[in-house]
Structure 1
Amino acid sequence: MKKFVPFLFFLSFLSVLFIGVGQAAADAPKLYLNGKPLESDVEPAVVNQTTLVPIRVIAEGLGFDVIWQKESKKVIVHNGETRIEFTLDDRTALVNGEAKTLLAPATAIKNRTMIPLRFVGENMGLDVYWDQKTKTVQLFQQVKPADPPPAEPPKTETPEIPAKGKLKSIEYNGLGSVILRYEGDVKANKPFVLNAPDRIVLDLPDTAFASDFLPEPPVKGTGGSLTVDGHPTLTKVRYSLYSDKPSTIRVVLDLTAPTNYTFTEGQGELRIDVLDAAGPAPSQPPATEPPATDPSKPPAKKYKVVIDAGHGGHDPGAKSVLGYNEKELNLKIALKLYELLKKEPAIEPYLTRKDDTFVALDDRAKFANDLKADIFISIHGNSFTPSATGTETYYNRSDSKQLAEILHQHVLKATGFKDRGVKTAGYVVIKKTTMPAVLVETGFLSNKDDAAALQKEETQNRIAQELVAGIKNI
């Protein structure tokens, strides 16, 4: 009865606070879940004396998944234990298959499904309070009462079973890879995709947050997020304690469109490579072949080649196991390539950066586009687990495939590393450039052998020389 009294007071207060339908948004209370604000582009509203709240923001804050079925106008909220189905303009909801009546029908406001607050509180395990001082609605997850003690308690308490693994960090490498580092024994479930909105979901059962990652033990449904900049579809990485029995962490990659990805498991690390928007690459005309030239005459045109040394300035890139930064290696190879291309009478080379300065990804692509360059080459070093090794090359559009295949074979010849293939990806510098463009991952700085070889000037010279040879073969 004690929990119901604050709720009744809250409802009576709302009837005084709001007057009629269509009350100004400025009067709408702010929502808080477990003491933290819930951000939403649609505020709570009062319709016919019933307070409606956006179901998605509350459900996702609790760790529920929300699915929108456009054709049937149905919203499904579930977390493995509870499944609730709402239908727009319908006052009946299904809770684990049981029909329940809403005080008001599910309503769409600004493309957000709004549900009566009272129903949300009663069916999603929430206590609802009105905070008079701050004018906020405070939602708290109910704490399940403990089981009564046995008639004859055991002499020794059974300790709680700890999680088998701990998540230490979540990082985004700036090139489409989300890396999860852990300690202990972590057996991740297979990632799966959800739509409306599009997202990739990864669950880590028997896993808790390491204390240096989240110092305070999170409440079920709470966690944090990592904002992603510069990727064509990946916008944010969210993580939360999805379940506490057993401790399960859920990681969600928010996307703006359906996107291809790969998932790799390594020792102490998990990696999701978010590639490109799903579907075939747009049709593009093949790369133009340089016209045949008469050796006795000067070339009719100089072919502009833009060399992009990845990272730079406050963005060091990957850290090599030998202590040097990726940005240093990338620049060394780029400068060597630049000097060699300057000696070619038919080629005019350009650098996106000549020293240790930071250049935004969009600015690198714009630089090449404004030059009306013929070729764009971005040079990088890779990083994953100590055992990962090899060279790989990425392209985005079909007009870049031939360039990627030719340069890849030449870089392989220079490094002698494992052939990891030619792949497609949506990296900004090869997606937003308008000419044939590739991104070359020379080797893995996380691998002792790769890092040692790439540190040698003779290897860097060979890579630069083979890139020249590849360019001249295009």
Structure 2
Amino acid sequence: MKLWSTVATLLMIALLLPSLAFGATSPPTAKIVLDGKTLTTEVDPLNVDGNVLVPIRQIFEKLGAKVTWDQSKQTATIVRDSMKIQLTVGDRKPVVNGSRAEQLEVAPMNVKGNVLVPVRFVGQKIGYDFKWVQETSTVQIFPKSGQGSGAGTPPTTPTPTPTPNPGQVSDKVLVKTIQLTKDQLLVGTDKKSPQANVFKLTSPDRIVIDLPGTELDASLAGKLVNNVGEVPSLHPMVEKVRFSNFNNDPATVRITLDMKANADLTISAAAGQANLLVGVLKAPEPGKTKYKVVIDAGHGGTDSGAVSLTNKKEKDFVLAVANKVAKLLEKEPNIQTYMTRSTDTFVTLKGRSEFANNLDADLFLSIHANKATPTAGGTETFYYERADSKAFANVVQKHLLEATGFKNRGVKEGDLHVVRETKMPAALAEVGFLSNAQEEALMYTSAFQDKVAASFVAAIKEYLKIS
């Protein structure tokens, strides 16, 4: 199947399919099956007034498109080759290549940070047909005739994965052994081991090792229970070792060390043995750890950011807080603080992320303020995809809520440049809403800014395990 022929079609279905009338009086959930496989999405598809709405990011990205989200405009943009589609929450008229398309029956919605659009907008122009299965509340999406295997016939059950021939050559690396001795982590593979991606998680403390391009061999796969297996730990700093086939596309084996104590892990191929990874755990040396933390005050210079009800500027609020954070961090001997801007200057998004990456920083925190309707309010924190960034965002949100006392809008995944393009754990905090009279009044007081700055410092110290 040619992916972009499918994506091009996803964009105009609203006019070409009859209504999917299900007679619902409330928005029940549905599920989606694409090419015989049930799609897993962060939020369930919905049936609204007889129209099924689906999460746009998961569907388009499955088809190779790039999806970005503009928080201030509440607009999702989908780009692939020469095609550009913009869908705005609450607006029934999408923009396709700069021109307004015909009106959708139901406007896109934002549900828990995910944009949902009518399924009729994701159909025939991409070479797909639909079938609604009332009994299971399922929308089946399948290729039209000539678009690939199984084309033209809606599947009734997922196609089973074929069993490979015994002599079939696989490009995946098989993980054959996982062992944690009192000194080392040993991971044996059937061919040259891949480079491991290692990161830490907190609450509770874990070290995670992802091995891209790998899967468990039969002996280890046979130990999985609900896709999780365990091997005993003989290491004094590790409670237990867990492993799983974490991802299928790309294939990834994940090994997780449940820690008893804070430690760092270095892992690489053994000398002269390309099919053996050796990991060594070591406790940080007291007084010698110097973490590099980047504090990013959003906007600046010609970019004012959001403007409040009384014409105050977001750039001024976030700079005041960022400078207070930097001043507090100066008192921390184990932290070296860097700022993307400390004055009212303009820095590009690319400049911010490159600054942090070139420093090889350990942590990145971007500070912002929100704007929407006068009734909207609350505190939220964003991250992008990586588990370490999500863990940091959770800690930031916890402390920030204690400082603001505002409504908890949650921790959300957002396709925002500074958290997407930075290579270290990164979070973007939206402290409160400048469009909310009560929140704005507090946000421009020095006492409130002091509390917010202290909460950010507490979050940074907790994540880095600095007492």
Shorter-chain TM-score: which interval?
0.3 to 0.5
Q: TM-score, normalised by structure 2?
A: 0.46
Q: TM-score of the superposition, structure 1-length normalised? A: 0.45
Larger Rg: 1
